[in-house]
Amino acid sequence: MNPRRELGIASAAAVVATLGDLLLLLVGNSSQPELGLPRPPAWALPTGGLLGVGAIPLYALGYRCIARVLRPGSPVLARIVLDCGMGIAALGALIHGLTALSIRAALASGAAPASPLAAVAASGRGVVAAWVGASVLVLAASIAIFVAGTSRERQLPRPLAWLNPAALTLVLAAASLPSEAGRSLLLPAAPNLAHVPFFGAWLFAWAGMGGSGRVTAGATQR
């Protein structure tokens, strides 16, 4: 597949997954009167679950494209990005699906719907372990990208090094903390939302390279 198309698909997948998050958050936080959210329609929960489960695996295409760019100059960093990206795609889809099922189970029992974060915490050690594992993989991939763009023989433009998923997630998480709405709506969606500018920046950079993938030459001239 054309690398630019891979990045385009990954960027669109991040948008779709974020929409899925927002639907789950609408259902999960509908019982919090302080947020003033509208009553979610019946289709919000299944649609939100399916959007994330279907879209997040496509992140693997974007990470594969990034690894391909890094491979000529640093096969080790490329392998880290590729392997971690595959794991992020798999665990992310699993977490999203299990979160939707947890919210559905709460609704079926007659209890007030749990927020996605509360649903994850109540789902047992397996889901929490998946969250921890996905976080570690995101951090490892982000460090590899950062090193590739900031080391002496850097292979990427510096903006791409800083616009990594871990850094973007932290920025979004920090922005969510001052308000209850932010903590309830933005914070849980931050990991998927962070992948929108992440893959988008790579897509923009790839277009600037004319689709050649020759990032190293452009980076070393900056």
Q: Rounded to an integer, what distance in angstroms lies between the CA atom of residue 221 and that of residue 179?
A: 42
21, 25, 73, 100 from 44: Cα distances, Å: 10, 10, 45, 10
Of 139, 89, 95, 134, the C-alpha closest to 117 is 95
Burial class (CB within 10 angstroms; exposed 0-12, middle 13-18, buried 19+) of 105 = middle
Categorise residue 36: left if φ over 0, alpha if ψ from -120 to 50, beta otherwise: left
- pLDDT of the residue at 101: 87
Could you list the beta-strand ranges (E) of the chain.
none
Encode the chain (222 residues) as per-residue pLDDT tens digits.
788 899 999 999 999 999 999 999 998 887 777 777 888 899 999 999 999 999 999 999 999 999 999 998 889 999 999 999 999 999 999 999 988 988 888 777 766 555 556 666 666 677 788 889 999 999 999 999 999 998 877 778 889 999 999 999 999 999 999 988 888 889 999 999 999 999 999 999 887 665 555 554 344 344
- pLDDT of the residue at 222: 41
Categorise residue 203: left if φ over 0, alpha if ψ from -120 to 50, beta otherwise: alpha
- pLDDT of the residue at 119: 61
